[in-house]
């Protein structure tokens, strides 16, 4: 039966494409289903919200994709994000309170320092994994504890508040504001609009989309079109062969973990812009596990050598659409945990049935 | 002569490397003994064990899984789920007119049996469908979290009968000057007379469970097979071990121990919470690794895993006495965890010898 199925799929190109992109097909399927069951699901505003709220998860999944392709795992991304968010928040808070600099300079300084800081956990776990052969699971689990502790120490267990309002204006802003009659205005509402009039405007393309597209485009380019990306796949496919063909595997792995940590740091900085405060990561958030789930749903293998960046993004969107759709359809939100669990198992079973597809 | 000396030095170094966890533990005790006021008292040690019960139980469960070369991420939320299930059951039983003790015992029994189910599903996925343990147990983490939240939508898990509090926060042995020793029941004494409380009930329960599973791992065929599978799965299959069945039992065992940790949480805090064990994932794996087990399977012992758990529990209590915020605990556990693995790399033979 299994053999037959494999054969049929082998023969038909369309079926092969469907099986390979089953997560994408599921995404379309869910969107169609929820369009019928959930009132207001099928609207531009809702889709914009879904993507805007999954930017952080997409960053995490992108970070995890690189690591998983090399056959490793990075459990620290969630808390590195918290660390970066709290660091950026704290620096912005201090500079803002001092009041010497312009708001733009303050935000820039905070973001840059947080991004630089977020390279450090990756550097340390990379060195441990590459040079000292510590299993990635343990090295990054250790970093999980360390970054969480440091983030909590910086913010003393409370979110970092009283930051400039400009943060959320940028983070939750839109590129286009449109109202019939008064025309289009770019990046900000026309002057002199009261708060209750905002709803009259059609708001399109959140600024976060631009960031998201730039980051994903660059990362995809790195993974698909550069030697760095090729080496990443080579190491995941067969580390010995990669060493023999002259790749500096140790150095490459350190770079991979630094990249993963840096992307998590970007998610942290974005988190400050989105929420307007510096948030530490709670234990219940489990960003790292949802990121791994999304990557696996996207067809990557935990053994390494397989994985596509856009497929991981689809994995995140699938989880997000499921969550949003269930909520709008009036199903209790905690079913999302169960749904994600079932999706994951499905992903693995599909992977087991058709091992040659991906 | 020279070479003999260096050989001797090397042996000594190896022996120290092998026992570094013990040395670290002693150093930890000395450090807190010197810096934390009132650290060396019977009471403090009882508190350490009292708060360490969940880590100890989950570390033993995780140890079995890690010896076979797997990992169980679901333990924390299975613990939370079982704390909620047991609370709900006991409240329901007590409400239906059962005596308090009967309701508690029946509730605990049913919870422990139900606690086997997540492990059974994990085991089925891992052994029959070849799902990687990381993914299977993560799915189970999500599912048990979801079910927990589902159970508390109609109301929080609380209002346990008073007896639960008496059991959970009571002690096995009481001693008072005038009435002598008494078991379980706190003697009635005049005001101002000091009653010594020894051996918290939950600690006694934990030790009984740990002792049983230490025996299972060390002295039974089940234990031998566990090491065999972790050492080399192929040869285990060839030597006639039913590996699939065994793996299933291992995950059921881990989930059973997580469920008992949940029951003990319920007795201690007289409530059920979905994220009762959320932060214990790091602790339980760290305890096992500090105890010298290798994540690639085949090595580890129960008493060393318990030592790892106690090291973490002492750290937690010691820092609390010093008044240092618990945030530092996470940093230190992380550092010790990495340190443990680095030592493991420097003295590779040591963990291998531990198998015997």
What is the pLDDT at residue A356? 63
Candidate CATH numbers 3.10.620, 1.10.1240, 1.25.40, 1.10.3470; the one for domain A21-353: 1.10.3470
Between A297 and A335, the higher pLDDT residue: A297
Considering only the beta carbons, identify the residue of B140, B282, B341 that sits closest to A145. Answer: B282
Whether the full predicted model's pTM is greater than 0.80, yes or no, is yes
Residues B175-222 pLDDT 10s? 877 777 777 777 777 777 777 788 888 999 999 999 999 999 999 999
A 222-251: CB under 8 A from B: none
Residues A329-339 pLDDT 10s? 888 767 777 88
Length of chain B measured in residues:
356
What is the pLDDT at residue A190? 67
What is the pLDDT at residue A191? 66
Between chain A and chain B, the number of residue pairs with CB atoms below 8 A apart is 143
Domain ranges across chain A: 21-353
Q: Do B139 and A342 touch (CB under 8 A)?
A: yes
The complex's ipTM works out to: 0.78
pLDDT band, very low/low/confident/very high, at B4 (cuts 50, 70, 90): low
Residues B32-60 pLDDT 10s? 989 888 888 888 888 899 989 999 999 99
Residue of A nearest to B294 (CA): A135
- Is A292's Cβ below 8 Å from some Cβ in B? yes
Q: What is the 3-state secondary structure (H, E, C) of A84-128?
A: HHHHHHHHHHHHHHHCCCCHHHHHHHHHHHHHHHHHHHHHHHHHH
Q: What is the 3-state secondary structure (H, E, C) of chain B?
A: CHHHHHHHHHHHHHHHHHCHHHHHHHHHHHHHHHHCCCCCCHHHHHHHHHHHHHHHHHHHHHHHHHHCCCCCCCHHHHHHHHHHHHHHHHHHHHHCCCCHHHHHHHHHHHHHHHCHHHHHHHHHHHHCCCCCHHHHHHHHHHHHHHHHHHHCCCCCECCCCHHHHHHHHCEEEEEECCCEEEECCCCCCCCCCCEEEEEEHHHHHHHHHHHHHHHHHHHCHHHHHHHHHHHCHHHHHHCCCCHHHHHHHHHHHHHHHHHHHHHHHHHHHCCECCCCCCCHHHHHHHHHHHCCCCCCCCCCCHHHHHHHHHHHHHHHHHHHHHCCCCHHHHHHHHHHHHHHHHHHHHCHHHHHHCCC
- Answer yes or no: is pLDDT of A189 > 80: no
What is the pLDDT at residue A304? 86
* B125 neighbors B132 (Cβ within 8 angstroms): no
- Is A352's Cβ below 8 Å from some Cβ in B? yes
pLDDT band, very low/low/confident/very high, at B352 (cuts 50, 70, 90): very low
Residues A58-99 pLDDT 10s? 999 999 999 999 999 999 999 999 999 999 999 999 999 988
Residues B86-112 pLDDT 10s? 999 999 999 888 888 899 999 999 999
B296 contacts on A by Cβ (under 8 Å): 135
The percent of residues in chain A predicted with pLDDT above 70, rounded, is 92
pLDDT band, very low/low/confident/very high, at B353 (cuts 50, 70, 90): very low
Tell the residue number behind the tokens 């965890």, with chain if given: B337
- Is A158's Cβ below 8 Å from some Cβ in B? no
A156 contacts on B by Cβ (under 8 Å): 325
Work out the average pLDDT over B279-300: 86
- Is A159's Cβ below 8 Å from some Cβ in B? no
What is the pLDDT at residue B338? 85
| CA distance to partner chain A, nearest, from residue B73 (Å) | 10
What is the pLDDT at residue B158? 82
pLDDT band, very low/low/confident/very high, at B354 (cuts 50, 70, 90): very low
- Which of these ranges, A150-164, A289-303, B3-17, B288-302, has the smallest mean pLDDT? B3-17
What is the pLDDT at residue A300? 87
Q: Do B328 and A149 touch (CB under 8 A)?
A: yes
Tell me the C-alpha distance between B299 and B305, whole Å: 11
What is the pLDDT at residue B355? 42
């Amino acid at each position: 039966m299994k053999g037959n199925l494999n054969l049929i799929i082998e023969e038909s190109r369309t079926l092969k494409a469907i099986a390979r992109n089953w997560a994408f097909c599921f995404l379309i399927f869910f969107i169609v289903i929820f369009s019928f069951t959930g009132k207001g699901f099928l609207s531009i505003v809702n889709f914009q919200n879904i993507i805007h709220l999954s930017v952080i998860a997409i960053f995490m999944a992108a970070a995890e994709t690189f690591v998983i392709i090399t056959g490793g795992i990075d459990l620290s991304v969630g808390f590195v994000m918290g660390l970066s968010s709290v660091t950026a928040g704290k620096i912005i808070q201090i500079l803002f309170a001092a009041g010497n600099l312009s708001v733009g300079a303050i935000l820039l300084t905070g973001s840059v320092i947080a991004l630089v800081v977020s390279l450090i956990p990756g550097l340390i776990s990379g060195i441990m994994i590459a040079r000292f052969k510590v299993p990635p699971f343990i090295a990054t689990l250790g970093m999980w504890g360390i970054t969480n502790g440091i983030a909590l120490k910086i913010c003393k267990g409370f979110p970092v508040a009283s930051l400039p309002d400009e943060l959320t204006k940028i983070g939750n802003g839109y590129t286009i504001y449109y109202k019939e009659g008064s025309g289009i205005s770019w990046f900000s509402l026309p002057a002199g609009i009261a708060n209750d009039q905002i709803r009259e405007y059609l708001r399109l393309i959140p600024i976060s989309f631009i960031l998201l597209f730039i980051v994903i485009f660059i990362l995809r380019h790195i993974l698909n079109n550069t030697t760095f990306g090729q080496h990443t796949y080579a190491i995941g496919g067969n580390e010995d062969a990669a060493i023999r063909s002259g790749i500096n595997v140790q150095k490459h792995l350190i770079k991979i973990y630094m990249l993963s940590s840096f992307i998590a740091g970007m998610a942290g900085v974005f988190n400050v812009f989105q929420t307007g405060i510096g948030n530490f990561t709670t234990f219940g958030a489990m960003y790292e596990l949802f990121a791994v789930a999304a990557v696996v749903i996207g067809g990557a293998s935990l053994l390494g050598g397989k994985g596509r960046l856009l497929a991981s993004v689809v994995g995140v969107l699938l989880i997000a659409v499921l969550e949003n759709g269930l909520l709008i359809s009036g199903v209790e939100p905690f079913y999302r945990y169960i749904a994600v669990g079932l999706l994951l198992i499905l992903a693995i079973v599909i992977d087991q049935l058709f091992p040659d597809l991906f | 002569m020279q070479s003999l000396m260096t050989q001797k030095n090397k042996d000594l170094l190896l022996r120290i490397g092998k026992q570094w966890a013990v040395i670290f533990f002693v150093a930890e005790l000395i450090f807190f003994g010197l810096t934390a006021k009132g650290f060396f008292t019977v009471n403090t040690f009882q508190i350490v064990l009292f708060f360490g019960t969940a880590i100890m139980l989950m570390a033993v469960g995780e140890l079995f899984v890690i010896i076979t070369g797997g990992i169980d991420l679901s333990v924390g939320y299975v613990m939370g789920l079982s704390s909620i299930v047991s609370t709900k059951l006991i409240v329901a039983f007590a409400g239906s007119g059962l005596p308090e003790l009967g309701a508690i015992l029946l509730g605990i029994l049913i919870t422990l049996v139900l606690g086997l189910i997540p492990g059974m599903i994990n085991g089925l996925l891992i052994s029959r469908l070849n799902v990687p343990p990381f993914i299977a147990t993560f799915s189970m983490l999500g599912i048990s979290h979801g079910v927990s939240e589902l159970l508390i939508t109609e109301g929080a898990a609380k209002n346990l009968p008073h007896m639960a509090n008496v059991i959970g926060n009571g002690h096995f042995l009481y001693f008072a000057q005038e009435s002598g020793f008494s078991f379980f029941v706190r003697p009635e004494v005049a005001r101002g007379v000091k009653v010594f409380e020894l051996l918290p009930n939950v600690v006694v329960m934990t030790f009984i469970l740990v002792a049983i599973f230490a025996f299972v791992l060390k002295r039974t065929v089940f234990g031998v097979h566990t090491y065999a599978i972790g050492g080399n799965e192929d040869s285990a299959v060839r030597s006639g071990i039913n590996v699939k069945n065994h793996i299933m039992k291992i995950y059921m065992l881990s989930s059973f121990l997580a469920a008992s940790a949940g029951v003990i949480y319920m007795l201690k805090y007289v409530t059920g919470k979905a994220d009762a064990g959320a932060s214990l994932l790091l602790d339980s794996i760290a305890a096992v690794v500090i105890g010298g087990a290798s994540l690639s399977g085949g090595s580890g012992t129960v008493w060393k895993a318990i030592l790892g758990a106690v090291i973490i529990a002492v750290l937690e209590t010691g820092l609390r006495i010093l008044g240092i915020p618990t945030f530092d605990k996470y940093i230190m556990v992380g550092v010790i965890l990495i340190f443990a693995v680095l030592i493991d790399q420097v003295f590779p033979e040591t963990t291998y010898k531990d198998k015997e």
